[in-house]
Amino acid sequence: MRGLYAIIDPEHCAGRDPRVIAAAVLRGGCAVLQLRAKTLDDAAFVTLGRELAQSCRAHGVTFVVNDRVALVDAIGADGLHLGQNDLSLAGARARVGSHVMITVSTHSLEQARAAERRGADGIGFGPVFATRTKADADPVVGLSALAEVCGLLRIPVIAIGGITLETAPQVRLAGAPFAAVISAICAAADPEVAARALHRELLGPEPSSAAPPEGGR
């Protein structure tokens, strides 16, 4: 599996209903959809999360929640994403069980390797480019560091931070199977079109259907 890792954040939806944005993104296409909503209370988060989880199941898309370890079961999420300052990986695993995928944000090769050793199912790595969706963003790591991490780790890497349609090819060529995107889809005039273009770009060019030439003819 590879492609667009779409993050739906109500704070970045330009005043639009996040359900509408998520539905458009799912029509456009993505591999994973994550709900990130720092300011929603638990009840509102569960309500929104359940709706998005159901929509993701209907589209065969993996659904992940950000941070809210205690709400994973209530929502029925497929995965949980943790930041460096959230509950430890071991603590989260004890809460959600082995059937839930857990990924961890990392910002250096050392953090990436540590997450793999501790049993993460995947990592986010970045910010690869400068980002405006986090006020306290870590320093930019760049494409070279992304390529190094992708080459050394055995678990999937999700490139994070400032990724757009223009920079997506560089992320794909660096070896990242996934790229997390917030603003380029949530704030897009047409999130469906934006998601479709990003997902296709991250999947890479389709193999040619033309038959190879025979012999010297």
Catalytic residue among 16, 57, 118, 134: 134
Q: Is 88 among the catalytic positions?
A: no
CB 98 within 8 A of CB 113: no
In contact, 80 and 101? CB cutoff 8 Å: yes
38 is catalytic: no
Q: By C-alpha distance, which of 178, 184, 128 is closest to 155? A: 178
Neighbours of 31 (CB within 10 A): 20
- Annotated catalytic residue: which of 93, 105, 172, 196? 105
CA distance 164 to 59: 23
Between CA 205 and CA 53 the distance in angstroms is 29
Contact 25, 191 (CB under 8 A): yes
Q: Is 36 a catalytic residue?
A: yes
Neighbour-count burial for 80-107, b at 16+ CB within 10 Å, e otherwise: bbbeeebbebeebbeebeeebbbbbbbb
Q: Which residues are annotated as catalytic? A: 36, 105, 134
